[in-house]
Chains A and B, each alone.
Chain A
Amino acid sequence: KQEVTQIPAALSVPEGENLVLNCSFTDSAIYNLQWFRQDPGKGLTSLLLIQSSQREQTSGRLNASLDKSSGRSTLYIAASQPGDSATYLCAVPQYNAGNMLTFGGGTRLMVKP
């Protein structure tokens, strides 16, 4: 059974810092890994989808890396801003289960001005 863990659970940093959020998964037989952002009480916004054949995916100040063999992904946020404050979730689809997503518990990020 796939298990996804995110560390740290919460993070508070001053504006302008570069951040690394970590995601680990137990079953390396994945097709892709997706990073989401969630604002309080809101739905999930897809940030990046990184395929198993890729090692990195970039969108603006965000960069996601994937190392299947070690079961790890990182989300790098450059030059953090207060508007980046949110919960960040990673998720992997379950093979042969209709791509049901298994989520980590999330990292709650606060960027202070």
Chain B
Amino acid sequence: DAGVTQSPTHLIKTRGQQVTLRCSPKSGHDTVSWYQQALGQGPQFIFQYYEEEERQRGNFPDRFSGHQFPNYSSELNVNALLLGDSALYLCASRPGTSGRATYNEQFFGPGTRLTVL
């Protein structure tokens, strides 16, 4: 089991550019969430995808958008990058179709480090 995988590992962009980050969930998981972690802080929830739809969204602007594919993998897109978007972006997955999904443990990927210059 490969666990949650993310690509790329590191990315450097300039202000105003657009970026796409990718995530493959753990085998057997169909729910994917994205988090932003600024240096020295805990992760902040961006949004969650299940059945190819955005189900929940945190307090992030529309510049942040996503997509989930039929194989449950997901993309995070950020437009018009700002210096403040520099952070570690984490993807998490869990099974969403279990009757006890609420209780299920969430597993995180290694993250993508985004630097905006």
Contact = CB atoms under 8 A, between A and B. Distances in A.
Interface in B91-117: 92, 94, 101-111, 113
Interface stretch (B11-19, B38-46, B64-72): B38-46
Interface of A is mostly: strand
A106 B94 contact: no
Contact of B43 (A49, A99, A103): A103
Nearest to B48: A98
B90 interface: yes
Interface residues of A, number: 27
B63 interface: no
Nearest to A45: B108
Nearest to A49: B105
A100 B58 CA distance: 9
Given A41-B113, A44-B90, A51-B103, A102 B108 contact: no
Interface size class, chain B: 20 to 34
A34 B43 contact: no
Interface in B48-97: 48, 50, 55-56, 58, 88, 90, 92, 94
A91 B110 CA distance: 17
A34 B42 contact: no
A4 B41 CA distance: 12
A99 B88 CA distance: 21
B28 to A, nearest CB: 15
12 contacts: A41-B113, A43-B90, A43-B110, A44-B90, A45-B108, A49-B105, A98-B31, A98-B48, A98-B50, A102-B45, A103-B44, A105-B41
Interface of A: 4, 31-32, 34, 36, 41-46, 49, 51, 89, 91, 93, 95, 97-106
